Amino acid sequence: MMEFTCMIIALVLLICPNTIHGTIANPTYAQQLLTSAKQDKDWLVKIRRQIHENPELRFQEHNTSALIRAELRRLGIPYSYPFAKTGIVAQIGSGSPPVVALRADMDALPLQELVEWEHKSKIDGRMHGCGHDAHTTMLLGAAKLLNQRKDQLKGTVRLLFQPAEEGGAGASHMIREGALGDSEAIFGMHIDYTFPTGSIGFRPGPVLAAVSLFKARIVGKGGHAALPHTNVDPIVATSLALLALQQLISRETDPLGSQVLSITYVNSGAALNVVPSYVEFGGTLRSLSTEGLHKLQQRLKEVIEGQAAVHRCTAYVDLDVEGHPSYPAVVNDENLNLQVERVGTQLLGQENVKLMAKVMAGEDFAFYQEMIPGVMFGIGIRNEKVGSIHSPHSPYFFLDEDVLPIGAALHTALAENYLNEHQQSIEL
């Protein structure tokens, strides 16, 4: 049986010499695809700038969603709407297996843009400071390319335009409402200011952290500071709780593990001669494994409640902060990661495909990876000449728009190569 399978594979390679391990090993293919994408650059830039000027926060992406739907209709691409309030799922291809998904997020940040340029955000306090306007535009560009080549697709591509990545876990809502359909794998990309435009970063395994926010309140009994024995001081209890929390990483976490516990605010009374009745504080927990985050959450609750009890106080801990559910860790599938490396090398050259660093930021793309194999990779935007040098979530974040056709071509090539590879498996 093994000999027969090898003979069939050899025959396929003989008949279709441009296909190797699912990657179309043809320089002409890469050149034609990039050329087609670059011909759309003016359109892509126009779309991206329109989205950038009108940023919308999580689950409020109504105008962005309307713009995407209008362009899909103009291109003659069928879609379903709504998912997760404003999300869209377009579909291109035969409708038959294999089915692969591509995902882009649409929401902006509650951030004041400080970059002065012609297409600056028109809405005070809102900004596309994480590149989601570029992600959406690149996926729309891929939709156009894939639709132009739909007769050649050996399966089906689902394009997920998703709301509420920034804290709202929009991916989990998309999944519950059926956005994945019969997808068996998913690709996502995120802009990366550490890599130059024209390059990508990849990494197998854990790449982004599982993330949780928390709030806590330690309640005592307030009163005049001159009579401490008549009070139950929540400040002392809170102080010792905060010190004890810092030991969770240094004393209880494997030194080879990656975890973060940060207290980011403490609020209490304002009078100089009054002991307050309570103290509020909060922060964030992060781990490169979802299991590690769950353990850290459990110990955080135990430590705060225990320290409060020792000092005759009562503690209330909220690990499900409203509007900010916990995110799992982003763990890239090994085989799909290899495909990103191969396709990236094919399109951009080996020198422009690099191993990217693990980062303790979170991404709700992880919810898709809990359902099906998936990979998220970085696409470079760094360009000192245009000022594209600032990190995401910075008010000075700026995008090198040369990335737009590159991202559209990468999305297209990944989808086509996945379908080619898995159609061969079905046929064999």
* Domain regions of the chain by residue span: 26-206+329-427, 210-318
Give one DSSP letter per residue of 330-383, joined into a string. EEE-HHHHHHHHHHHHHHH-GGGEEEPPPBS---THHHHHTTS-EEEEEEEEEB
Structure tokens at 64: 């962005």
**Identity at 46, one-letter amino acid code:** K
Whole-prediction pTM value? 0.91
- Percent of the chain whose predicted confidence (pLDDT) is above 70: 93
CATH superfamily of the 26-206+329-427 domain? Zn peptidases (3.40.630.10)
Residue 35: CB partners within 8 Å, gap ≥ 6? none
- Is residue 69 within 8 A of residue 79, CB to CB? The reply is yes
pLDDT at 426: 63
Say yes or no: do domains 26-206+329-427 and 210-318 share a fold. Answer: no
> Does 132 appear as a known binding residue?
yes
Q: Which distant-in-sequence residues (6+ apart) come within 8 Å of 315 by Cβ? A: 216, 217, 218, 219, 241, 304, 305, 307, 308, 309
Task: Give me the CATH topology for the region 210-318.
Answer: Alpha-Beta Plaits (3.30.70)
For residue 393, say whether it is annotated as part of any ligand binding site: yes
Residue 64 to residue 49: CA distance in whole angstroms: 11
What tokens appear for 182 in the block?
């019969």
> Which parts of the chain register pLDDT below 50?
1-23
166 marked ligand binding residue: yes
Which pLDDT belongs to residue 3? 46
Residue linked to tokens 């990876």: 369
Secondary structure percentages of the chain, helix, strand, coil, to 5 = 40, 25, 35
Beta partners for 201? 354, 378
Q: Got the DSSP string for 179-241?
A: TTTT--EEEEEEEEEEEETT-EEE-SEEEE-EEEEEEEEEE-B-EETT-GGGSB-HHHHHHHH
Q: Find tokens 């034609």 and name the residue.
A: 32
Q: 3-state class of 307 per DSSP?
A: helix
